[in-house]
């Protein structure tokens, strides 16, 4: 196992370098650059720039060099100084922009991730052990509806219900008073209540998907020969369920860890925009629209790093959960 982990860690650096090149190249594929977007926005407000002024802006922002020169300058700053570049749109260092919303993004996304697994695993096990029961039919119906309903549509429905019941427009995790007076202890209950809404909206689809996956995998494992043998030898149903079937059924769930880590960093972009959540996803979308390449490139690259790390962690967890994977690795 240590040898396997060492090989994966050695592949980590070249993989990230290749990903960073692709990210920087793809971000710059659309025609124009940040200056083009900025000049267009100013022109819409009636301010016109001459060709000389536009060229001076490109020189000022360092956009007059070819993309590969800009990439090497960017990577040099990251490796030597830990400098991820300067955000043109926010007029401050990129990492400062990310850190403004990163704590709240991590908190909300981590709670959603815990909610998904804490709810879906017990429900999936219950449905598998009580196949075709009333509870199984109920949770299967909930799973189909939750998986089929877009998150942003559910967000709109809940926001409309809140407006009808309270007459207040939902402003994300902070109310008008919170934004005006700052976070105080008396606002904590309201803040926690507001956290329930993105928890339900963003967590519903993932929770329902995991329920369906765990149920299907558990039913498949319960029909295998080793399960019948264990039951014939007198093993308790709890032992068969939790020691044998569940470990094998968790394989597809654990393999999705890489995507979960990426989601924790960025959050759900569309749902966050609809609910006006102050998390990382809308920042990435705005950076891509304005062609703020260093900010967008850094966010996407961190997501890629989390995917690589999550894949390694999921492979290690799979090898621990399923002995067959360890034997195939030796072979």
Which of 46-55, 129-138, 267-276 has the least mean pLDDT? 267-276
The most distant pair of C-alpha atoms in the chain lies apart, rounded to whole Å, by 86
d(CA 195, CA 42): 37
Per-position DSSP letters for 155-223, written without gaps between them: HHHHHHHHHHHH-----TTS-HHHHHH---GGGHHHHHHHHHHHHHHHHHHHHHHHHHHHHHHHHHHHT
On the 0-12 / 13-18 / 19+ scale of CB atoms within 10 A, 327 is exposed
pTM, two decimals, is: 0.79
pLDDT band at 138 (very low <50, low <70, confident <90, very high): very high
Decide if pLDDT at 308 tops 60. Answer: yes
Please measure the distance between the N-terminal and C-terminal CA atoms of the chain and give it in whole angstroms.
Answer: 13
40-92: pLDDT as tens digits: 888 888 888 888 888 888 888 888 888 888 899 899 988 888 888 889 888 88
233-248: pLDDT as tens digits: 888 888 888 888 888 7
pLDDT of amino acid 19: 87
Cα–Cα nearest to 162, from 7, 318, 274:
274
pLDDT band at 265 (very low <50, low <70, confident <90, very high): low
pLDDT of amino acid 331: 46
CATH code 1.10.3720.10 for 94-330: yes
Average per-residue pLDDT for the chain: 83
Looking at the chain, the whole-number percentage of residues with pLDDT higher than 90 is 5
pLDDT of amino acid 54: 85
Decide if pLDDT at 116 tops 80. Answer: yes
Distances (CA, A) of 32 to 39, 41, 137, 298, 301: 11, 13, 54, 20, 22
pLDDT of amino acid 134: 92
pLDDT band at 324 (very low <50, low <70, confident <90, very high): low
Per-position DSSP letters for 237-283, written without gaps between them: HHHIIIIIIHHHHTHHHHHTHHHHHHHHHH--HHHHHHHT--SHHHH
d(CA 195, CA 192): 5
Looking at the chain, the whole-number percentage of residues with pLDDT higher than 70 is 91
pLDDT of amino acid 94: 92
pLDDT of amino acid 267: 61
Two structure tokens written together for 180: 């005006």
Question: Of 131-135, 272-276, 313-317, which one has max mean pLDDT?
Answer: 131-135
167-209: pLDDT as tens digits: 777 777 777 777 677 667 777 787 778 888 888 888 887 888 8
Domain boundaries, given as residue ranges, for the chain: 94-330
């Amino acid at each position: 196992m240590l040898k396997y982990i060492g090989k994966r860690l050695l592949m980590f650096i070249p993989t990230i370098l290749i990903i960073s090149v692709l990210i920087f190249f793809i971000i710059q594929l659309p025609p124009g650059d940040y200056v083009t977007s900025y000049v267009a926005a100013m022109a819409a407000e009636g301010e016109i720039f001459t060709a000389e002024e536009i060229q001076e802006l490109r020189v000022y922002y360092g956009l007059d060099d070819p993309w590969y020169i800009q990439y090497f300058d960017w990577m040099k700053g990251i490796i030597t100084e830990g400098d991820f570049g300067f955000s043109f749109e926010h007029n401050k260092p990129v990492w400062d922009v990310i850190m403004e919303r990163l704590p709240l993004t991590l908190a909300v996304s981590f709670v959603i991730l815990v909610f998904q697994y804490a709810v879906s695993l017990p429900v999936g096990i219950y449905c598998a052990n009580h196949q075709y029961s009333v509870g199984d039919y109920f949770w299967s119906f909930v799973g189909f509806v939750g998986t089929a309903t877009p998150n942003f549509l559910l967000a709109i429905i809940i926001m409309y219900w809140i407006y009808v019941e309270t007459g207040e427009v939902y402003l994300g995790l902070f109310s008008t008073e919170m934004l005006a007076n700052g976070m105080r202890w008396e606002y904590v209950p309201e803040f926690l209540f507001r956290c329930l809404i993105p928890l339900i909206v963003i967590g519903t689809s993932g929770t329902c998907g995991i329920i369906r996956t765990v149920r299907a995998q558990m039913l498949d494992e319960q029909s295998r020969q080793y399960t019948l043998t264990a039951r014939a030898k007198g093993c308790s149903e709890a032992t068969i369920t939790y020691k044998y079937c569940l470990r094998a059924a968790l394989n597809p769930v654990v393999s999705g860890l890489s995507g979960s880590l990426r989601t924790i960093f960025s959050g759900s972009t569309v749902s966050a925009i609809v609910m006006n959540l102050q998390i990382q996803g809308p920042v990435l979308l705005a950076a891509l629209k304005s062609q703020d390449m260093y900010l967008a490139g850094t966010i996407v690259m961190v997501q890629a790093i989390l995917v690589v790390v999550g894949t390694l962690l999921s492979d290690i967890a799979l090898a621990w959960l399923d002995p067959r994977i360890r034997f195939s690795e030796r072979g």
